[in-house]
Chain A
Amino acid sequence: MKLRQLFLLLFVVLLGRVTIAAEQPASQSIILASTTSVENSGLLAHILPAFTKETGITVHVLAQGTGQALQTAARDDADLVLVHDPEAEQKFIAAGDGIDRRQIAWNDFIVVGPRSDPAHIGGTHDAVAALKAIAGAQAPFVSRGDKSGTDALEHRLWRVAEIDPAKAGGGSWYRDIGGGMGAALNTAQAMRAYTISDRGTWLSFGNKGDLTVLVEGDPRLLNRYDVILLNPEKHPVPKQALAQRFAQWLLSPEGQAAIGGYEVAGEQLFHPSAAAPK
């Protein structure tokens, strides 16, 4: 009888599922809430196997924006965070959620845009002046708009420039897409717009099209990556010891060498800085 076969198959599938589920949690694992820039650039995939081999601890990476990653940790849903927004990190620690903030690496942000460069900012080294020129020319600009570390930096720069981009000149040149770095770069490429990217995502991004780096080298474009543990007084996470071990490994000579050794097309993406934080 056909119907019986169907139910028999469903039963077998369910049984198989339960067996898979039962096998899973044997090994030790922690959840790292991190940013898209360290995950999508391939850095974590490059360095994590060495840590897992040494300690037997599997690190499950959630690639979110900095704002979302801190929220996830504040809800106890991650064991530690690796993020890049100094202001949001300070709030996270001041609220009693995080402790032991340590810088593990740095690189920089860059302003990218179309080769035609309608705002004439190519080759300059002042990010604020560049944003003023883009707003003045009302050239299309793509904003992340997702409370990520990159989004926070962009908004800091607009504040320094004393421009409210959503309102300046009707605001139609300013496109807030509410998406990740990759989505912003895809959109900028398609709209021939300017945007701000972290160097790691940019170098590993595969759909650059007509986009090119226009502004770099402004000290305000420094991009620092910090690892933060959860405060055990507020977050009684059972895996604190494992999380601590991972944080220590990132700061150790082996971890730092692994970070510094990651290259895409011959270019180093992250500069280890545990010994001399920037």
Chain B
Amino acid sequence: MVGDVWAALETAEFAHIVGLSLAVSLSATAFAAVVGLPCGAALAICRFPGRRLLILLANAFLGLPPVVVGLALYLLLSRSGPLGVLALLFTPGAMVIAQALLATPIITALTHRAIEEPWQEYGGALRVDGATRLRSIRMLLAIARRSAVTAVLAGFGRTISEVGAVLIVGGNIAGYTRIMTTAIVLKTSEGDLGLALGFGLVLIGISIAVSASAFALWAR
């Protein structure tokens, strides 16, 4: 049985599944980080009306249910829905949007938490220096970069392991929108439990590899 699983893992089809998983989740994480890192930092250092509400929402959406995000996005992207003209439903693009929506609150909330303390410590000095808000955000993110990397990795963890949303908006189409998690669901339903487990181990390995490289590069 191990031999069969090994043979299945060496096919071009499987390489496509792994590649698409990484492409979709890394893109979604990148979008979420580009939005979430500055927004999280801004929530920590800027004072404006509605700030507390945004912090509350970011924290509440840490537990955003993927199937609900998938369903809402499905209704929006459906050809008979408001964004149907984009023709994004059942494409990798829709999967990136769904995962980015799930990861953004995670990265925002964790960044906010990570920046609060250095802002209290260095905020006065930065202000005396005459640093602008934008410069302060950059400085503080650099100071708290380990926590920022952890925030981004938490976002990536959400995207790479998620199945509910991508199944609904991606459709698990063979060779087009099938990724690791949806392939595991499919193989399980086909009663091919050994291969499903093999896919699962590869998925965990990828997750570990991405985390390890991120820490090696930025969090030393």
Name the residue of chain A whose CB is nearest to the CB of B152.
A6
In the assembled complex, B80 has its CB within 8 A of some CB on chain A: yes
Name the residue of chain A whose CB is nearest to the CB of B146.
A2
Q: Evaluate contact between A183 and B189: CB separation under 8 angstroms.
A: yes
Q: How many Å lie between the Cα of A31 and that of B79 in the bound state?
A: 12
Q: DSSP class of B's interface residues: helix, strand, loop or mixed?
A: helix
In the assembled complex, A14 has its CB within 8 A of some CB on chain B: yes
Name the residue of chain A whose CB is nearest to the CB of B195.
A206
Name the residue of chain A whose CB is nearest to the CB of B75.
A75
Q: How many Å lie between the Cα of A3 and that of B26 in the bound state?
A: 17
Interface residue tally on B, bucketed by range: 35 or more
Q: Evaluate contact between B31 and A14: CB separation under 8 angstroms.
A: yes
A-B contact count (CB 8 A): 104
Query: Which of chain A's residues have a CB closer than 8 A to the CB of B186?
Result: 40
Q: Evaluate contact between B191 and A77: CB separation under 8 angstroms.
A: no
A191 CB to closest chain B CB, in angstroms? 15
In the assembled complex, A61 has its CB within 8 A of some CB on chain B: yes
A204 CB to closest chain B CB, in angstroms? 7
In the assembled complex, B176 has its CB within 8 A of some CB on chain A: yes
In the assembled complex, A278 has its CB within 8 A of some CB on chain B: no
Query: Which of chain B's residues have a CB closer than 8 A to the CB of A6?
Result: 33, 145, 148-149, 152, 217-218
Q: Evaluate contact between B79 and A75: CB separation under 8 angstroms.
A: yes
Q: Evaluate contact between A14 and B27: CB separation under 8 angstroms.
A: yes
A116 CB to closest chain B CB, in angstroms? 20
In the assembled complex, A45 has its CB within 8 A of some CB on chain B: yes
Among the stretches B51-59, B91-99, B199-207, the one at the interface with A is: B91-99
Known contacts: A3-B145, A10-B30, A60-B171. The answer to whether A21 contacts B190 by CB under 8 A is no
A99 CB to closest chain B CB, in angstroms? 18
In the assembled complex, B104 has its CB within 8 A of some CB on chain A: no
Q: Evaluate contact between B90 and A207: CB separation under 8 angstroms.
A: no
Q: Evaluate contact between A206 and B192: CB separation under 8 angstroms.
A: yes
Mark interface residues in A28-69 (1 if CB within 8 Å of B CB, else 0): 000100001001100001000000000000101111000000
A26 CB to closest chain B CB, in angstroms? 14
Query: Which of chain B's residues have a CB closer than 8 A to the CB of A5?
Result: 217-218
Query: Which of chain A's residues have a CB closer than 8 A to the CB of B188?
Result: 182-183, 186
Query: Which of chain B's residues have a CB closer than 8 A to the CB of A205?
Result: 190-191
B103 CB to closest chain A CB, in angstroms? 12
Known contacts: A61-B174, A186-B188, A186-B191. The answer to whether A20 contacts B23 by CB under 8 A is yes
Q: Evaluate contact between A2 and B142: CB separation under 8 angstroms.
A: yes
Known contacts: A17-B27, A208-B191. The answer to whether A77 contacts B90 by CB under 8 A is yes
Query: Which of chain A's residues have a CB closer than 8 A to the CB of B138?
Result: 3
Known contacts: A3-B142, A24-B91. The answer to whether A76 contacts B191 by CB under 8 A is no
In the assembled complex, B84 has its CB within 8 A of some CB on chain A: yes
In the assembled complex, A137 has its CB within 8 A of some CB on chain B: no
Query: Which of chain A's residues have a CB closer than 8 A to the CB of B89?
Result: 77
Q: Evaluate contact between A40 and B141: CB separation under 8 angstroms.
A: no
Query: Which of chain A's residues have a CB closer than 8 A to the CB of B30?
Result: 10, 13-14, 17
Complex A-B: 7 CB contacts under 8 Å:
A10-B30, A75-B79, A179-B189, A186-B191, A204-B190, A207-B192, A208-B191
Which 6 pairs between the two chains have the least Cβ-Cβ distance? A182-B189, A207-B191, A76-B79, A206-B191, A17-B27, A10-B30
Q: Which residues of A contact B (CB under 8 A)?
A: 1-3, 5-7, 10, 13-14, 16-17, 20-21, 24, 31, 36, 39-40, 45, 58, 60-63, 75-77, 179-183, 185-186, 189, 204-208, 237
